[in-house]
A and B are shown apart, each in its own frame.
Chain A
Amino acid sequence: MTPTLEIVDLVKHFGPVRAVDGVSLTVGVGEVVGLVGESGSGKSTLGRCVTRLVPVTSGQVRIRGRDIALLSRRALRPLRRDFTIVFQDPSSSLNPRMTVGDIIAEPLRLHRLGSAATRRARVIDLLDQVGLPADVVRRYPHELSGGQRQRVSLARALSASPSLLVADEPTSALDVSVQASVLNLVGRLQRDLGFACLFITHDLASVEFLAQRVAVMYLGLLVEIADRAELFAAPRHPYTQALLSAAPIPDPAVQRARRRIVLSGDVPSPVDPPPGCRFHTRCPVAVERCAVDVPPLRPVGPAGALVACHLVDDDGTAPEVSAAMPAPSLGS
């Protein structure tokens, strides 16, 4: 089956900033792929390229087989209903002067889907699906709580039945308890409606909850792609290992006995990424070769994981990165 999303060698530069520097990633029909990685590694930029909110520098973005990466705005317009995006902060992405009903119906109107009456019915149906009472149609965004606003942006994003939803930190601005309800909602909608989802977040626990596969990004490149269970049980790339070891577990008994991989050194700049493996300047196990040869993202192990690291064997054996108790750091 043709995957819903196929990103091939995607590049996005902002002037000298190499925000996304050659990324390939597939999201299957009805699949949720989590995208995690360091702040500033290019996750949001990738999401914005996929939904063509920013022009792509080069590469392909195939949505259900059709490459939209370089299509003109005009050619793109009728296709837009098929892929949508929701953002972290629902208050800045919802038009404050429109009612909730108009906000949700907007994509239907833009794409001239249905009559006014069927659109109204669809809005009520969508509100029900995202767990909001029908009477919010006449309310304005500022009259709703953060969690309710995020439900409205989901309803809007899903109104034209897209086959792909990009969710960029959809729960980061919300409280734990509200986060839980929005994550449950995304999971349920995704199962019921069957759309594919690229789920961008720095919250590893929510990725583990929602995603079937996980991609890890570092400085404009993917360093690892693996099934969720495999990635969380046995992360292979040293950066992935460091990332997982740094995510605190909300249980003092467990957390305080844990060791963490401490990354030293400066975070390099995407204007002037290090040669060889981009992670080598901070990698605790880097060898000479890592500073010279660029490691390709290649299949390793029996389950089809992809890892970009010279030190990971073809059979999937990964270098052991030693972790330390979080000792007080006194500088490098």
Chain B
Amino acid sequence: MKPGSDRLLDVEELTVRFGTEDGAVLAVDAASFALGPGEVLALVGESGCGKSVTALALTGLLPRSAAVSGRITFAGRNLPGLAERELRRIRGRDIAYVFQEPMTSLNPVLTVGRQIGEVLRRHQGMGGSAARRRAAELLELVGIPLPHRRLGEYPHQLSGGMRQRVMIAMAVACRPRLLVADEPTTALDVTVQAGILDVLRTLRAEIGTAVLLITHDLGVVADIAERVVVMYAGRTIEEAHAEALFARPSHPYTRGLLDAVPNPARHADGGLREIPGRVPVLATSPDACTFADRCGHADGVCRTRRPAFARGPAGHLVRCWHPLAVPVPP
């Protein structure tokens, strides 16, 4: 988003370290990004790069073994400075979460209606028939047919796609200003996935909810995200409008990620492109580019100096000593 415009969420230099038996893990390394009201921002990157940890850190959901530093400003308030009681109020009411596996987040012994009703009671003090009516409205909003019948059903009676919709219905019950969706469609087939993405679009249009969408599916990103933040080994390494990122990736890692996606137009010339090597798990933040070992453009500077998050040749933010010099179209 443009600097200076009012921000809903502003994450600055977020750092998360875990103490584990095998030593420290630097899961998030001074990550910075911001989200405007009603904006859909995608956070992408390979497994283990710190996407989920970033999402959980926002509202203090990480275990005690995590040491968190940095600034997280939400609607003008510094979240890490708030008491747990206050955070709990923000969670669910202002910031809602949806995770990949709805079955583990839904209570198997309560009906869908009871579970949505509970959220409405807790956060909005709504009860009885008003809650029931609102619950049915919410199911309808997320595209579940016959909502009144579904309210009386248990999670196991629903398909995976419907369970995920119920999760979203619960998440938006209080009209949150920010929805954090961590791989919300990964377990679903493409027709169901497309329906869930429609639901996110609807929420944005109807309630003005901003969405932080975590995914590694670049097709999903292309479908719905306005802006994209790419993470690598805990660092945010590129940030741009979706169109610009796909058309003119500036970081060699982003380029590699885009090239690895199967693309029929390229199949003929010798298979899919791979990125050799793997994402490092780091204990401390090196004075180097963390992608240098896998990068075809890396030189001495990359191995000895930390690149800053700077404006790249295509006008978007990139953390690279040798950003790809793609000409900006007229």
Instruction: Please give the residue numbers on chain A whose beta carbons come within 8 Å of chain B beta carbons, in ascending order.
Output: 37-40, 145-147, 175-181, 183-184, 187-188, 202-206, 208-209, 232, 242-243, 246-256, 260, 262-267, 326-332
Contacts and interface: CB of A to CB of B under 8 A. Distances in A.
A248 B219 contact: yes
B188 interface: yes
B101 interface: no
Nearest to A247: B190
Nearest to A176: B260
15 contacts: A175-B216, A177-B257, A180-B261, A181-B272, A183-B272, A205-B264, A250-B263, A251-B246, A252-B221, A252-B225, A265-B145, A266-B146, A326-B198, A326-B223, A332-B143
Given A147-B278, A177-B260, A179-B260, 20 more contacts: A38-B192, A39-B188, A146-B47, A175-B216, A176-B260, A180-B272, A184-B271, A205-B263, A242-B191, A246-B193, A249-B219, A252-B246, A256-B223, A262-B194, A262-B198, A266-B145, A326-B223, A329-B195, A331-B141, A331-B142
B310 interface: no
Interface of B: 46-47, 139-147, 159-161, 188-195, 197-199, 201-202, 205-206, 216-223, 225, 242-243, 246-247, 256-258, 260-264, 267, 271-275, 278
Contacts of B217: 248
Contacts of A184: 271-272, 274
A250 B199 CA distance: 20
A252 B264 CA distance: 17
Contact of A255 (B142, B161, B206, B223): B223
Contacts of A204: 190
B258 A38 contact: no
B35 to A, nearest CB: 18
Nearest to A184: B271
A260 B224 CA distance: 14
The B interface, classified by DSSP as helix, strand, loop or mixed, is helix
Given A176-B216, A243-B191, A255-B219, A183 B201 contact: no
B264 A232 contact: yes
Contacts of B201: 326, 328
Nearest to A187: B271
Of B142, B223, B225, B256, which is in contact with the most chain A CB atoms at under 10 Å from its CB? Answer: B223
Contacts of B225: 252
B46 A39 contact: no
B261 A175 contact: no
Closest 9 CB pairs of A and B: A248-B219, A328-B202, A205-B262, A331-B140, A180-B272, A250-B218, A180-B260, A246-B194, A177-B275
B262 A39 contact: no
Given A205-B263, A329-B199, A332-B145, A181 B274 contact: yes
Contacts, number: 152
B193 A176 contact: no
A328 B206 contact: yes
B325 to A, nearest CB: 22
Contact of A250 (B144, B189, B246, B273): B246
Contacts of A265: 145
Contacts of B139: 331
Given A208-B264, A252-B222, A330 B143 contact: yes
A246 B145 contact: no
Contacts of B191: 38, 242-243, 246, 263
B143 A175 contact: no
A248 B205 contact: no
Nearest to A267: B159
Contacts of B218: 176, 250
Nearest to A202: B189
A255 B195 CA distance: 15
Contacts of B278: 145, 147, 178
Contacts of B247: 253
Residue among B189, B192, B216, B267 facing the most chain A CB atoms (10 A cut-off): B189
Contacts of B246: 250-253
A209 B262 contact: yes
Nearest to B245: A252
Nearest to A204: B190
Contacts of A205: 261-264
A242 B198 CA distance: 15
A181 B278 CA distance: 12
Contacts of A332: 143, 145
A37 B201 CA distance: 25
B143 A329 contact: yes
Contacts of A246: 190-191, 193-194
Name, among A177, A187, A263, the residue most crowded by chain B CB atoms within 10 Å (CB to CB).
A177
A175 B47 contact: yes
A264 B194 CA distance: 12
Contacts of A202: 189-190
B206 A251 contact: no
B221 A250 contact: yes
A248 B222 contact: yes
A310 B262 CA distance: 34
A254 B221 CA distance: 12
A331 B159 contact: no
Nearest to A254: B222
Given A180-B262, A209-B267, A255-B222, A248 B159 contact: no
B140 A248 contact: no
Nearest to B294: A177
Contacts of A252: 221-223, 225, 242-243, 246
A209 B206 contact: no
Nearest to B49: A175
Nearest to B205: A328
Contacts of A263: 191
B140 A330 contact: yes
B260 A329 contact: no
A328 B206 CA distance: 9
Contacts of B260: 176-177, 179-180
